[in-house]
Amino acid sequence: MKLKTIAIDDEPLALRLVSDYVRKTPFLDLAGSFENPLEAVDFLSKQTADLIFVDIQMPDLTGIEFTRSLDNPPKIIFTTAYSKYAIEGYKLNAIDYLLKPFSYEEFLKAANKAHKQIELEANVSPTIEANNQFLFLKSEYKLRRINFNEILYIEGLKDYIKVYTTDEDKPVLSLNSIKSIEQKLPENKFMRVHRSFIVNLDKIEVIERSRIIFGKVYIPVSDQYKDKFQEYLDKNYL
């Protein structure tokens, strides 16, 4: 099993060393190397990776900030010249922490650790299947079961989402992105109609002037999603 790997370091020599180490390792496949972490963010918005070697101390975006910015981060191995960041790195569930300058032996040991963990998860994951009826959402230090058929709509608020349901007076607030929950919802039941809103198609009863009405709440259908929503209407319009 080869791991699709990227390397990020603002120091060209350090980046070249890690990239060479990746190429030298039989079970790693170098998919990209970046001096600017923002370029890596763009790469990951279009492609996936299994493993990332990322420097921590970088000018535009630190390795810690970069990792926190990812909705579903792959396995991370931090590389840095400063040991003071080790604890912070492990808080983010990093596989390992390589202190510069490190040898190929140290690199290989960390890469092997990542390889074993990814293989273990790959062997376990087929026995656990996602369902199309509910998900568990972390809210107020608890895991709340949210049934899909009870969701009216979901509102995104930068770092948080609000899930409005039929059986709750107040929305369920959770530290998540609207993009991450969108990926968990059944596509035939839910639709993104705005940068900040996802609606349950089965719960729509009134539409007025490109706005979906839930009681006193008017949810706009933005231009970006209008064609897809219109296609849904055309298929269900008399």
H or E stretch covering 119: helix 104-124
Element holding 123 (H helix, E strand): helix 104-124
Per domain, the residue ranges of the chain are 3-127, 134-235
Residue 86 is predicted with a pLDDT of 54
Q: What sign does the CA torsion over 208, 213, 217, 218 have?
A: negative
Q: 198: closest CA among 217, 224, 179, 215? A: 179
Q: What is the assigned CATH class of domain 134-235? A: mainly beta
Q: Which residues contact 183 (CB under 8 A, 6 or more apart)?
A: none
If phi > 0 it is left, if psi is from -120 to 50 it is alpha, else beta; for residue 42 that is alpha
**Can 3-127 and 134-235 be said to share one CATH topology?**
no
pLDDT value for 84: 63
Tens digits of pLDDT across the chain (238 residues): 899 999 999 999 999 999 999 999 999 999 999 999 999 999 998 899 999 999 988 888 888 889 888 888 899 999 988 766 555 655 677 899 899 999 999 999 999 999 999 988 877 645 556 678 899 999 988 899 999 999 999 999 988 999 999 987 889 999 999 999 999 999 899 999 999 999 999 999 999 988 999 999 999 999 999 999 999 999 888 7
- Check the CA dihedral 230-231-236-238 and report its sign: positive
CATH topology for 3-127 is Rossmann fold (3.40.50)
